């Protein structure tokens, strides 16, 4: 506790005649903890409307509560639910205490859709960002305060006339892979116009989504390559890459296109990354490639969790992808205020992997698990033979999937002419 908080708790205890000699927040049922303003404010958030009116009446505001219950409820909500001002006057005390911002954790949302938030919450396009942030029916477990972010517009039919100029926020424009079938020349010209407002405006999200029908894969590849020509060294690239249940290698295929059209210094954001450790290693050949993680982390398999662990901390981005992928309840609308819960999921995965390694180390020390060098020669040969057999089976399985995919998915013709392609290949050599 800070000295200021200790003084406030001590004065509050003296006011009510409570012995507050030892100001400690441990154990949780200590007097100092129970009367701390953070605990009291959190408890007030769970009061029902009738309880709020009763509390207002109890604190001497009986007339206002009886004359206008709606006004009393609004007043209670101002100091009970939205206690974010620098100074808050509590009606049940005869003095005013200074309250620090409870959502003091400042976050940057690297990817969210403000236009989809407006449509899903049925708000006007003129509504403020602050209104959209509180449009979800569920509340985050770890409150945060959004200070900056990247607003992504990837639905060409809903592009704004001019890029939004929200202080601290950047607007990115692109075409979602699922929108390529309706992507026309007029929309492409509009996209180039919006990107021309700034040479540093991010391009995205664009990419490949093989969760759709195979009939659209060729068109996705063609549009993806065409849009990559709009990149430059200053313009960050936001990629949407998804593998279907019967497709593999989307990250490798996209990597080939990016290497063909982008410089090694290209800034890249792999949005909602769900790849493996090999994908992390391959894409790390771009020094400015960053990996974004969303609420989907809670549904990761073992390989994806290992990939998350393999991402360096200085290459890891947190994103809400709102209004999608609510980390607490996927059926509810998501907002950037849930970024704290996304961070919790990412931290839990890292902690889980650390505990798994500690558990394996403990079993090894107790002799339950032995290193191969500790086995008998015959057991070592059998173990290595089994490893080679498993690796060979996995290689055959991946090759069959790759061949089946190539038979049904023919690479589209590059938008560049043959002469330009030859020049590009010579430059790469």
CA angle 230, 236, 241 (to 5 degrees): 85
pLDDT on residue 372 = 79
Phi, psi of 317, deg, nearest 5: -120, 145
The radius of gyration computed from the CA coordinates of the chain, to the nearest angstrom, equals: 28
Does the 109-355 domain belong in CATH 1.10.10.10?
no
* Selection from 244, 251, 247 nearest residue 273 by Cα: 251
Phi, psi of 275, deg, nearest 5: -85, -165
pLDDT of 393 > 70? The answer is yes
pLDDT on residue 100 = 40
**How is 226-265 classified by DSSP, letter by letter?**
HHHTT--TTS-EEEEEE--TT---HHHHHHHHHHHHS-TT
Lowest pLDDT segment from 134-143, 287-296, 356-365, 398-407: 398-407
Gap between the Cα atoms of 248 and 34, Å rounded: 55
Q: What is the separation of C-alpha 355 from the centre of its chain, rounded to a whole number of angstroms?
A: 24
Gap between the Cα atoms of 354 and 350, Å rounded: 6
Please report, for residues 15, 78, 183, 250, the alpha-carbon distance to residue 94 in angstroms, rounded to integers and kept in the order given.
Answer: 9, 18, 64, 64
pLDDT-based confidence at residue 334 (cuts at 50, 70, 90) = very high
Helix %, strand %, coil % of the chain (to 5) = 50, 10, 40
> Domain ranges in the chain?
3-98, 109-355
Residues counted in the chain = 429
Most confident region among 260-274, 337-351, 358-372, 404-418 by mean pLDDT: 260-274
91: helix, strand or coil: coil
Gap between the Cα atoms of 34 and 7, Å rounded: 15
Percent of the chain with pLDDT over 90: 40
Beta pairing partners, 416: none
Beta pairing partners, 206: 239
pLDDT-based confidence at residue 244 (cuts at 50, 70, 90) = confident
Lowest pLDDT segment from 78-92, 126-140, 221-235, 304-318: 78-92
pLDDT on residue 318 = 95
How many other CB atoms are there within 10 angstroms of residue 86's CB atom? 8
Lowest pLDDT segment from 28-42, 132-146, 164-178: 28-42
Gap between the Cα atoms of 296 and 273, Å rounded: 9
pLDDT-based confidence at residue 165 (cuts at 50, 70, 90) = confident
């Amino acid at each position: 506790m800070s000295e200021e908080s200790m003084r406030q708790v001590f004065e509050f205890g003296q006011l009510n005649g409570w012995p507050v000699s030892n100001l400690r927040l441990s154990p949780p049922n200590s007097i100092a903890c129970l009367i701390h303003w953070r605990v009291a404010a959190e408890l007030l958030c769970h009061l029902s409307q009738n309880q709020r009116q009763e509390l207002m009446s109890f604190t001497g505001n009986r007339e206002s509560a009886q004359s206008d219950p709606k006004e009393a409820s609004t007043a209670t909500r101002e100091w009970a639910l939205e206690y974010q001002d620098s100074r808050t006057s509590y009606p049940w005390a005869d003095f005013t205490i200074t309250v620090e911002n409870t959502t003091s954790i400042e976050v940057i949302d690297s990817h969210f859709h403000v236009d989809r938030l407006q449509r899903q919450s049925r708000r006007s396009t003129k509504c403020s960002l602050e209104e959209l942030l509180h449009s979800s029916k569920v509340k985050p477990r770890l409150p945060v305060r959004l200070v900056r972010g990247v607003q992504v517009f990837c639905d060409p039919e809903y592009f704004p006339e001019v890029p939004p100029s929200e202080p601290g926020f950047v607007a990115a424009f692109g075409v979602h892979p699922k929108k390529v079938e309706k992507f026309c020349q007029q929309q492409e010209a509009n996209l180039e116009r919006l990107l021309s407002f700034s040479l540093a405006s991010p391009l995205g999200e664009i990419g490949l989504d093989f969760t759709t029908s195979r009939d659209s894969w060729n068109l996705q590849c063609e549009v993806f390559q065409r849009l990559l020509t709009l990149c430059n060294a200053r313009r960050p690239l936001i990629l949407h890459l998804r593998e279907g249940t019967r497709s593999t290698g989307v990250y490798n295929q996209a990597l080939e296109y990016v290497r063909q059209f982008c410089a090694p210094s290209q800034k890249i954001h792999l949005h909602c990354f769900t790849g493996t450790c090999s994908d992390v290693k391959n894409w790390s050949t771009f020094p400015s490639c960053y990996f974004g993680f969303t609420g989907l982390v809670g549904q990761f398999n073992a390989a994806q969790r290992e990939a998350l662990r393999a991402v360096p901390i200085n290459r890891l981005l947190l994103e809400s992808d709102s209004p999608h992928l609510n980390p607490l309840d996927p059926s509810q609308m998501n907002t950037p205020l849930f970024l704290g819960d996304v961070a919790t999921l990412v931290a839990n995965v890292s902690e889980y992997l650390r505990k798994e390694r500690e558990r394996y180390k403990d079993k090894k020390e107790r002799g339950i698990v032995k290193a191969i060098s500790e086995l008998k020669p015959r057991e070592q040969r059998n173990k290595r033979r089994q490893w080679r057999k498993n690796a060979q089976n996995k290689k055959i399985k991946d090759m069959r999937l790759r061949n089946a995919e190539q038979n049904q998915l023919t690479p589209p013709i590059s938008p560049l002419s043959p002469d330009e392609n030859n020049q590009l290949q010579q430059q790469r050599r």
